[in-house]
Amino acid sequence: MDLTFSDAEAQFRDELRAWFENNDPGPMPEGEDASYAWRRDWQRRLADDRYAAVHWPEQYGGRGATITQSAIFFEELGRARRPLPANVLGILLAGPTIMTFGTDEQKDRYLAPILTAEEIWCQGFSEPDAGSDLAALKTRAVRDPAHPDEWVVTGQKVWTSGAQHSKWCMLVARTDFDAPKHKGLTYFLMDMEQPGVQVRPLVQITGEPEFNELFIEGARIPDENVLGGVGNGWKVALTTLMNERSGLAFFLQVRLRQLLDELIEEAAERGLLDDPVVADKLGYLHMKAEILRLTAYRGLTTIEKYGTPGPEGSLTKWMWSETNQELAQFAADLIGPDALTNGNRWAYELLRSRGNTIEGGTTEILKNIVAERVLGLPRLKGAA
């Protein structure tokens, strides 16, 4: 693993730092709708200068950045304390998947509105009885005998982040009920703005309706919105998932480091740095933040060497989510009751971190991936 950057990569980092210094979206407004509109405006500013998706090819509005340059982008975005684009699932998941499996017509139709946040995307994978076991999903799609070029979809999804803002959904449904469970799936691009699609918010402990349930009853999807061919949903979905777990590692590790630095400042202001228990815990968190940073670089090396993400994406997500929870809990322990009063930022961090080990793949599923693909242990009976 080589941690040095080329002259071109160093120049790209300098260019980004200058751009972020001159482009500040200002403080995030309060309220779900206002804050989301603020992030959409921010994405449009990024897109105007082709920074919304630097890893996309230039012909689609990106910069054709290498995977290393893309990592540098997210690192600098975090360091500048700028927000993620509003349509992050569209940019990181839907766009690259459509580029890989889409027809020319699908690329022409969907990619540009993703980049400008004109059309927001969500991910319809998880289900109430399947959890993160994608192949066990029960949502059904059958052809309408009266209109054989259309599919009729019925089912339920859960943990559908951003569904309340979305125009389109990356939806995986079962289309062959006799095939083995991994082979009877099809990947659809579903219009969310149609009869038969209902979004119900799942209000988190923070009070934010970030996650959602998605109820689908007789929604219709034309053949032209099948991505990658009927029955190839498992293969297409794996491409989406691999991009999910590799794209944000650098942003997350930088934000974790910033949070730790803020906690160290808080401890210093309270005169607690000489407390051996406090010093020991902060040192432990520093070590975990460094391991996370180096594992992110290791994942980057794997992609550069082999062309596809490895299990490091699962490792970094698992490590980040548990370390972030530990950090938030220690902040609350350190500060005491003041940390839990309304308006204290650590109260929000503590409550929001509860969802870290669920979103983006549960810790249990990620451990299974590491056990099987890194340690070579036998597949867990009944696992996907």
Catalytic residue ranges = 244
> Contact at 8 Å (CB) between 248 and 172?
no
Alpha helices in the chain (DSSP H): 7-22, 32-48, 67-79, 88-89, 95-101, 104-115, 233-247, 249-269, 276-306, 312-335, 345-352, 363-373
139 contacts 100 by C-beta, under 8 angstroms: no
- Ramachandran assignment for 378, one of left (phi > 0), alpha (psi -120 to 50 degrees), beta (any other): beta
Residue 316 structure tokens? 């970094």
CA separation for the pair 222, 242 (Å, rounded): 27
Closest alpha carbon to 164 in 128, 125, 120, 133: 120
Distance CA 202, CA 161 (A): 10
Question: How many whole angstroms from its chain centre is CA 295?
Answer: 18
**135 token code pair:** 């192949």
Q: Are 91 and 123 in contact (CB under 8 A)?
A: no
Amino acid letter, 299: G
